[in-house]
């Protein structure tokens, strides 16, 4: 593919030499080695490809679409940029498949949820929760553990189910104390009697277990999901938690990494092609940054729908504004590379606002604090990579030493993939937290885990 005779840059015009006129292009045979067959030094590049003067060699220039595609499997100074993000695409496609296959976490009912469940069962005309749930085996375990030193631990365990049982507990404790050591021995004997006469029941339970196993794992999973949905309905909670914010983030990661790889692969084409292609690269970064806000905002403000909607709208609006700026032609000039880095860094720093708000709103929730810690790590990794890219370190210190491997753009690419993986871990923690606590009830109140 030929090169346009004139390329407009800034307010002047530059004569672009043809491929044959490029000063001694570096031609190499591909018989041995993986080096691209035709590479150039920085000084011999067309103006639209001159971006980083500290990377001196191994440039591709004036490649056709086909030749650019074939260069995917050869070595040049864009090989690392292409493959770091292609590998990231594979990673996130695998994570999407894994997340789809992961079954929802069952509800983890704490003391508050158990008390609420008991009240609802009473309202439905059911028996007391403890009479409903306690089995002969569990009562036997409690009987055998009873002793003068075990009364305090019984109080602690029963007290964890709710304050409304403490009065009954005190009466039960006083009764045991009046009963004395002789009574404790008789209770232990009663436990052995239960065990002896419950063999037929245990055999029946074993038979039932075998029948359940015979149903297959899928049937058991469906039965477990039905039980969890019934519990959620009784507790007026939402289960399982919505997963679409996680998928939005992972889709944004795939879009960003894929467009970046394509831009670095075909960015060596003619000026009218490469200038349009690089806009997609910047757009992909904006997409990833905005979509990464969705899971922490959605799960962090799940019980505050108005605040959640406001933050999601603001994040999306800022992302669209950044996207509009990146599509302007002047934004791609080499002199604006610091502005580009600052724009995306500022967009990422906006996420600190809802993050701190969510931390205050859910203070004391260990899952939220763990996710925020990971997001802080993500931000540090991303900003460190962006700072190196803006400063063009380390190639600035040793021009020509990092032409093939280790220059700032490759480091930034690796930082983006690592930061996205760290953020994925944070989103899984938040998703797990909302699933186990049942999200929010109709009244907008978060259940206590």
Residue 272 annotated as binding site: no
Residue 409 annotated as binding site: yes
Q: What long-range pairs does 69-72 form, CB within 8 A, spacing at least 24?
A: 69/265, 69/266, 71/36, 71/265, 71/268, 72/265
In 129-270, alpha helices (H): 129-133, 136-145, 151-159, 166-197, 199-214, 217-235, 244-266
Is beta strand 6-9 parallel, antiparallel or unpaired with respect to 12-15?
Answer: antiparallel
Q: Which residues pair with 13 in a beta bridge?
A: 8
Contacts of 242 (CB under 8 A, 6+ apart): 298
Which two tokens mark 34?
């993986």
The values of phi and psi at residue 14, to 5°, are -125, 135
Measure the CA–CA gap between 46 and 192, rounded to whole angstroms. 91
| Largest interatomic CA distance in the chain | 107
Tell me how crowded residue 119 is: count the other CB atoms within 10 A of its CB.
Answer: 13
Instruction: Give me Rg for the CA atoms of the chain.
Output: 32
Measure the CA–CA gap between 318 and 213, rounded to whole angstroms. 53
Tell me how crowded residue 405 is: count the other CB atoms within 10 A of its CB.
Answer: 11
Q: What b/e string do you get for 123-146 counting C-beta neighbours within 10 Å, with b at 16 or more? A: eeeeeebeeeeeeeeeebeebbeb
Instruction: Point out the annotated binding site.
Output: 264, 409, 413
Instruction: Point out the annotated binding site for Zn(2+).
Output: 264, 409, 413
């Amino acid at each position: 593919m030929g090169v346009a005779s004139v390329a407009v840059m800034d307010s002047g015009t530059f004569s672009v030499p043809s491929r044959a006129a490029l000063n001694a292009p570096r031609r190499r045979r591909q018989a041995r080695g993986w080096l691209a067959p035709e590479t150039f030094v920085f000084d011999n590049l067309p103006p639209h490809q001159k971006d980083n003067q500290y990377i001196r060699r191994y440039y591709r220039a004036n490649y056709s679409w086909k030749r650019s595609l074939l260069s995917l499997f050869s070595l040049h100074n864009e090989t690392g940029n292409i493959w770091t993000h292609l590998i990231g695409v594979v990673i996130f496609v695998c994570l999407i498949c894994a997340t789809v296959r992961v079954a929802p976490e069952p509800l983890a009912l704490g003391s508050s949820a158990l008390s609420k469940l008991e009240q609802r069962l009473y309202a439905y005309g059911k028996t007391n929760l403890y009479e409903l749930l306690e089995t002969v085996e569990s009562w036997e375990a409690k009987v055998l553990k009873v002793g003068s030193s075990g009364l305090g631990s019984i109080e602690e365990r029963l007290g964890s189910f709710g304050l409304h049982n403490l009065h009954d507990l005190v009466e039960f404790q006083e009764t045991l104390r009046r009963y004395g050591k002789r009574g404790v021995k008789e209770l232990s004997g009663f436990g052995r009697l239960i065990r002896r006469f419950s063999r037929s029941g245990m055999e029946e339970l074993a038979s039932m277990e075998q029948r359940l196993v015979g149903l297959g794992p899928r049937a058991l999973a469906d039965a477990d999901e039905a039980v969890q949905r019934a519990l959620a309905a009784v507790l007026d909670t939402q289960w399982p938690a919505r997963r679409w914010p996680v998928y939005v983030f992972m889709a944004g990661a795939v879009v960003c990494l894929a467009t970046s790889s394509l831009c670095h692969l075909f960015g060596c084409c003619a000026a009218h092609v490469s200038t349009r292609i690089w806009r997609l690269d910047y757009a992909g970064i904006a997409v990833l940054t905005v979509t990464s806000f969705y899971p922490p905002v959605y799960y962090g403000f799940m019980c505050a729908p108005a605040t959640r909607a406001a933050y999601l709208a603001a994040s999306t609006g800022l992302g669209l504004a950044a996207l509009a700026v990146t599509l302007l032609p002047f934004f791609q000039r080499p002199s604006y590379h610091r502005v580009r880095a600052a724009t995306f860094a500022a967009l990422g720093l906006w996420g600190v606002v809802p993050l701190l708000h969510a931390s205050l709103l859910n203070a004391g929730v260990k899952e939220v604090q763990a996710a925020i810690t990971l997001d802080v790590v993500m931000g540090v990794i991303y900003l460190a990579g962006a700072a190196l890219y803006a400063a063009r370190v380390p190639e600035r210190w040793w021009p020509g030493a990092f032409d093939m491997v280790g220059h700032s753009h490759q480091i930034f690419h690796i930082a983006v993939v690592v930061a996205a993986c760290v953020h994925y871990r944070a989103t899984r923690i938040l998703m797990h937290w909302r699933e186990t606590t049942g999200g929010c009830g109709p009244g907008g109140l978060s259940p206590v885990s």
